[in-house]
């Protein structure tokens, strides 16, 4: 079967990663070991391997054509209609991409379910950014929300994420998607926080449903995401929320320092929270060296120096 351009989507602008060239390793159908309640793809039975997929040579050929045509691509993003780490030749594919990518970065968007398999773990170490999902920690929530294929072990996933962060020389980003009445309970949020602290990723993106889901589930409110971000003390947390409300307030030096001791703030946080005078105070603190602006996998965070 020939897939040609159906493998490639983009280049498209990404707010966090620049100009992204998407690679779909399952362009003909959904092949995933999760059937998440919130998935924007159609419902489908879970699988533990891909049975229909493009050859490595075909994928590389399409990537090279795109790189020749669009020389300013910032990141090659490996994904799939489903779970990209189920692609049986992932290690070989990553090696071949690294041979032709030049200065372009590489990234994968994965549900994290296979990271405890040595061949997947070692392949992921070769990517510039690995972005993994972690929606639940308790086994009950994990099974109910992510509707996992038999045999997937959440404890082994988390343990391998912890190990991966200590071994990678590149970036590890986590993504948590909150769904009303499922993983928004205090006890689940606390379990997530404890797991995230252990993993110690470079950044955590938290969000909720913003597209029609596969099943009848509802998004959480922005206030819940804000509560989670504040609970995840000391961690680079990015709230991804469409049309997030502006809650403009005035803050003095002491209040800004106290706020940043609790958690770093993104540029978007500052724009949605700080009035003009507060922004000026923030910039003065940066100039004095008490606060620094650091980049974390494509997002800038204000942090205590």
pLDDT of residue 29: 86
Number of residues that this document lists for the chain: 305
Long-range contacts of 92-98 (CB under 8 A, 24+ apart): 92/56, 93/25, 93/56, 93/59, 93/60, 94/123, 94/126, 94/127, 95/126, 96/56, 96/60, 97/60, 97/63, 98/126
The continuous run of DSSP H or E covering 162 comes out as: helix 154-167
**Judging by beta carbons within 10 Å of its beta carbon (0-12, 13-18, 19+), is residue 181 exposed, middle or buried?**
exposed
Same fold for the domain at 4-245 and the one at 246-305?
no
Report yes or no: 127 and 91 within 8 Å, Cβ to Cβ.
no
Query: Which structure tokens are listed for 300?
Result: 């800038």
Helix 56-69 and helix 90-100: axis angle, to 10°?
Answer: 30
- CATH number of the structural domain 4-245: 3.20.20.70
* Distance separating alpha carbons of residues 72 and 136, to the nearest angstrom: 37
Instruction: State the pLDDT at residue 70.
Output: 86
Per-residue model confidence (pLDDT) at position 1: 42
From first to last of its 305 residues, the chain has per-residue pLDDT tens of 444 448 888 788 876 777 899 999 998 888 999 988 888 887 888 888 999 999 999 999 999 999 988 888 999 999 988 999 999 999 999 999 999 999 999 999 999 999 999 999 999 999 999 999 999 999 999 999 988 888 899 999 999 999 999 999 999 999 999 999 999 999 999 999 999 999 999 999 999 998 888 888 999 999 999 999 999 998 999 998 888 888 888 999 999 999 999 889 998 899 999 999 999 999 999 999 999 998 887 788 999 88
Burial 34-55 (b: 16+ CB within 10 A, else e): bbbbbbeeeebebbeebeebbe
Q: Cα separations (Å) of 303 from 186, 291, 298? A: 26, 6, 15
Q: What is the pLDDT of residue 2?
A: 42
CATH annotation of 246-305? 1.10.10.10
The residue to which tokens 């949020």 are assigned: 189
E strands in 104-166: 105-110, 129-133
The whole-angstrom distance between residue 94's C-alpha and the CA centroid of its chain comes to: 19
Closest CA to 84 of 30, 138, 142: 30
Per-domain residue ranges for the chain? 4-245, 246-305
């Amino acid at each position: 079967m020939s897939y040609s351009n159906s493998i490639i989507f983009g280049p498209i602008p990404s707010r966090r990663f620049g100009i992204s060239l998407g690679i779909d390793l399952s362009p003909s159908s959904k092949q995933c070991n999760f059937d998440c309640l919130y998935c924007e793809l159609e419902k489908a039975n879970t699988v533990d391997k891909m049975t229909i997929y493009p050859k490595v040579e075909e994928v590389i050929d399409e990537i090279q054509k795109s790189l020749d045509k669009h020389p300013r691509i910032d990141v090659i993003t490996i994904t799939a209609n489903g779970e990209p780490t189920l692609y049986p030749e992932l290690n070989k594919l990553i090696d071949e991409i690294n041979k032709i990518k030049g200065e372009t970065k590489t990234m994968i968007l994965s549900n994290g379910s296979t990271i405890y398999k040595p061949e997947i773990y070692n392949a992921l170490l070769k990517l510039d950014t690995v972005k993994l999902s972690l929606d639940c920690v308790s086994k009950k929530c994990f099974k109910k929300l992510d509707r996992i294929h038999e045999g997937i072990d959440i404890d082994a996933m988390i343990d391998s994420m912890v190990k991966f962060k200590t071994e990678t020389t590149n970036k590890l980003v986590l993504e948590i998607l909150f769904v009303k009445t499922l993983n928004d309970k205090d006890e689940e949020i606390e379990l997530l926080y404890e797991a995230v602290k252990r993993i110690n990723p470079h950044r955590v993106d938290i969000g909720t449903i913003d597209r029609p889901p596969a099943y009848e589930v509802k998004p959480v409110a922005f206030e819940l995401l804000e509560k989670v971000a504040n609970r995840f003390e000391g961690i680079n947390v990015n709230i991804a929320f469409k049309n997030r409300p502006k809650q403009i307030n005035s803050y003095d030096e002491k209040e800004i320092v106290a706020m940043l001791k609790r958690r770093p703030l993104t540029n978007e946080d500052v724009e949605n929270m700080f009035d003009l005078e507060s922004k000026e105070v923030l910039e003065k603190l940066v100039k004095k060296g008490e606060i620094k602006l650091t980049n974390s996998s494509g997002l800038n965070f204000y942090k205590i120096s």
